[in-house]
Amino acid sequence: MALGLAGVALSAIGSWIPSLWGDEAASLMSAERSLPSLFRMLNVVDAVHGTYYLGLHFWIGLVGTSPFAIRFPSAIAVGMTVVAVTLIASRLGSRRIAIAAGIVCCILPRVTYMGEEARSYAFSAAIAAWLTYFLLQIIARRHPSRGWWIGYAALLALGTYVFLYTVLFIVVHGLILLSVRVPRDLIKRWCWAVGAALLAAAPVVVWAILERDQIAYLDKTTQVTFTTLTVSLWFASPEFAIVAWILILVALFAAVRRWFIRRASAVAAQSYSEPARSEQAQSDQPQRMPSLTMVGAYWLLIPTVTLIATHLLLPVFTARYLSYGAPAAAILIACGLGWLAQRNRWILLVGVAIVVGAAFPAYLSQRGLYSKNNSDWAEISSIIGAHAQQGDAIAFDEGIRPSRRPRLALHTYPDGFTKVRDVTVNVPFTQNTGWPDTAYSIAEASSLGRLDGVHRIWMVEYATPPHADTYDVADLKRLGFTVSAKFTTHRSVIYEFVDASIAP
């Protein structure tokens, strides 16, 4: 429990600092809709995120929409993940390895990143961890009660609704069961539980297929690179990745070595063994449990290999989709440390300290103002709030993809825009079937009379090369406005235009 609270605290500390970014804007704006509006949107886009949006809808009704408030549930999910990882490692390993795994899980860069983000990835990790713990509890019981199967099936179905790729744990857990050669009756009951979960999750699977074009853009960008696979998936920095992969490879080497030793011993013992015991005598023996390293390896590698292989045919992979593999990486790192520290427990303490130290720079970098995809919306809001006058108009660069439009600052940091009025909005997001607003250009807004009586207008431009910060500037000048001030932020330019007839 203490490690779980530490995980919550580490993820929550400084989580309000980074500016919200495109995916988080989609979460917040979807959650702010009325329920009828939300369900209309989900019939068109983002159905796979609907469960998370629905939960966030009720959460913000209680605590508000500040960056800290909407990110805090993810910190709680990280704490739940850490607890599950600690229990798994304690069940299959030792108390020392369990503590090491919990500490590593708390500070693993992918974990601390998803713990300060208003998206569903931290919840997918928590569900994956607890689902695996449920499976181990089922394996440990010769005759698990119906409640364990119902709980397992319900959690698998919920996990699929929260994050579709949780369904890949069917393969992970199936291989774990086959590896420890559980009784056929248990395999049969597991198949029934999986079937019930898939039946319950069928609607979101169908929705995902119907809305698959949403992630078609992944095919237009390079998602699978050496850096992505070795660093970006879970480790953030090359320095931490080197430490992590060395320890993971040590854990895998030690596991393979143990397997060969056991195999050789079994072959040697078979030559001198007594006649085979009866089936009844064998069934009375305690159920053999999987090794901690095996569970971590299957959990880490099977979804990764499956998604990357599928991505060669269909666009289904980007690094954050494997966030739920981070707890498995923590388990394997702890296993590697445990093997190195077999003869001296101080090696384990030193090793954990090295891992924590290697993760610390990444942790600090995640809590910078622009650490979320270089978003600067908080800064935009601050500048507008400080310099705009009551009744000023405002417009935004609409010439880039929706998730990067500076217009989203208006909805994510509304306090800075209380003095200005949006003169180009067409369909507000709450009335739209897509998640963002739709907007007119300056020329269209002018033709509709939106600029009548406007003497000062602020234009917020996206300004990251090669995108030019000139959206609608020519039209504003043609309408008689002239630039009176200019402010530059991290990736935006904010122009103050005034009516040339009254400009000094």
Kindly report the CATH number assigned to the domain that includes residue 441: 3.40.190
The answer on 425 and 359 residing in a single domain is no
Q: Rounded to whole angstroms, how far apart are CA atoms 50 and 56?
A: 10
Q: Rounded to whole angstroms, how far apart are CA atoms 174 and 223?
A: 28
Tell me, yes or no, whether 283 lies in a domain: no
The answer on 405 and 343 residing in a single domain is no
pLDDT of residue 280: 46
Of 365, 386, 420, the residue at which a domain comes to its end is 365
The answer on 460 and 317 residing in a single domain is no
Tell me, yes or no, whether 335 lies in a domain: yes
Answer yes or no: are the C-beta atoms of 406 and 394 closer than 8 Å: no
The answer on 164 and 237 residing in a single domain is yes
Q: Rounded to whole angstroms, how far apart are CA atoms 174 and 68?
A: 39
Tell me, yes or no, whether 184 lies in a domain: yes
Tell me, yes or no, whether 329 lies in a domain: yes
The answer on 400 and 257 residing in a single domain is no
Lowest-pLDDT range of 76-85, 257-266, 474-483 = 257-266
Task: State the alpha helices, DSSP H only, in 341-395.
Answer: 345-365, 377-387
| pLDDT tens digits, one per residue of 346-356 | 999 999 999 99
The rounded percent of the chain whose pLDDT value lies above 90 is 86
Tell me, yes or no, whether 222 lies in a domain: yes
The answer on 450 and 352 residing in a single domain is no
Residue 440 structure tokens: 């007119």
What's the structural domain count of the chain? 2
The answer on 330 and 246 residing in a single domain is yes
Q: Rounded to whole angstroms, how far apart are CA atoms 233 and 406?
A: 28
| pLDDT tens digits, one per residue of 359-396 | 999 999 999 999 999 999 999 999 999 999 999 999 99
| pLDDT tens digits, one per residue of 196-248 | 999 999 999 999 998 988 887 888 888 999 999 999 999 999 999 999 999 99
Whole domain around residue 464: which residue ranges? 377-499
Asked if the model's pLDDT at residue 283 lies above 50, the reply is: no
The answer on 248 and 166 residing in a single domain is yes
Tell me, yes or no, whether 371 lies in a domain: no
pLDDT of residue 503: 58
The answer on 9 and 131 residing in a single domain is yes
Answer yes or no: are the C-beta atoms of 434 and 42 closer than 8 Å: no
Q: Rounded to whole angstroms, how far apart are CA atoms 423 and 409?
A: 15
Tell me, yes or no, whether 343 lies in a domain: yes
Tell me, yes or no, whether 390 lies in a domain: yes
The answer on 255 and 137 residing in a single domain is yes
Of 365, 399, 426, the residue at which a domain comes to its end is 365
Of 336, 365, 394, the residue at which a domain comes to its end is 365
Task: Indicate whether this model's pTM tops 0.85.
Answer: yes
The answer on 407 and 343 residing in a single domain is no
The answer on 309 and 455 residing in a single domain is no
